[in-house]
Structure formats: structure tokens, C-alpha cells
Amino acid sequence: MIAFQLEAWPDVAEEIKALALLQYEEIALDREAIPYDPDWNYYSQAHAIGRLKVVTVRHSITYPVGRLVGWYGALVMPHPHYRSTLFAFQDLFYLLPEYRRGTTAARLFVEAEQMLRAAGVKCAISISKDHMPGAAALLDRLGWRRVGVMHTKLLLP
């Protein structure tokens, strides 16, 4: 059984840390210039002030305990341009490769949307990388609107 739930960062941090390196190795660009170096304390602080929401995906026989196989994390706060509106800025989402077939990824986003809506979020912002086209296609299918293009450039000496 696949279970989705909102979980508190302190309760899932160690499990996410164990999978986060896999995610970095799969999707990170420019690894030779930008090393893997998460600021885990940042997430603890964001949780402490109510700004971090984590929706987990667990493969379990006995709900809700089960193996963490994915998550969606968002920073929830007003946007500096729209102080009276709560936004969710997707930080990371990840599913282990063996769980990407079928509807699990779509269900993760639908569950995250519902939980964010219940938390008062009016607008969710998500970024997908061009070298991971499946994520963009998923967001398109779920009714997310493409609103721009993001560019990066390494500023090396």
C-alpha cells in the first residue's frame, strides 16, 4: 500500500537525508563546481517557525508506518510582492525510481496540493529541470501553468 501524509520535519529528517544524496546524484548539474552540502539546520528552523511542509510517500503494509520512498517539501510563506497571500515554494520532490511508474507521482502532487490548500496556501510554485522532462510533463497534466523560463549560469573565476 502507498500512503501519503503530512509529516513534521523532525520526524522525517533522517529518512529524507538518507535519500537526498540519491536525488542530488540523479538531478544535480555542475556537481564539480557546486558540491552537495545541504543546510539541514535551515530546514529545522523553517519547521520551527511553521514554514516547512513535508508530504511523504510511504510504502507500507501497516499504515502509517512504512518505508519512505518519496516526498514533496515546500516552504510556505507570503511572497515579498504579495504580503497578504500565502505561497508554497516547492523546495524538493523526489520518488525512488521504482515508484515512478503508475500514478504515484501524480498522487503525491495532488495530496501535496490538498494539504497546502488546507494550510491556507493560495499559490504553489514548482520548478522542473529541463533534463528531467517527466516532471514538467507531470505538472502540465495536473493543470499547473508554465509561467516562465529559469536560467542558470556558473560565475566561476
pLDDT digits (tens, 9 = 90+) for 91-113: 999 999 999 989 999 999 999 99
Nearest CA to 71 out of 52, 46, 54, 90 is that of 54
Q: Strands (DSSP E) along 42-81, which ranges?
A: 52-59, 67-79
Q: Enumerate the β-bridge partners of residue 4.
A: 57
Q: Does position 129 have pLDDT exceeding 80, yes or no? A: yes
Name the pTM for this structure. 0.92
CA angle 137, 77, 116 (to 5 degrees): 50
Domain boundaries, the chain: 2-141
Q: Give the 3-state secondary structure of residue 49.
A: coil
Q: Does position 53 have pLDDT exceeding 80, yes or no? A: yes
Check residue 60 and give its pLDDT. 82
Q: Which CATH class is domain 2-141?
A: alpha beta
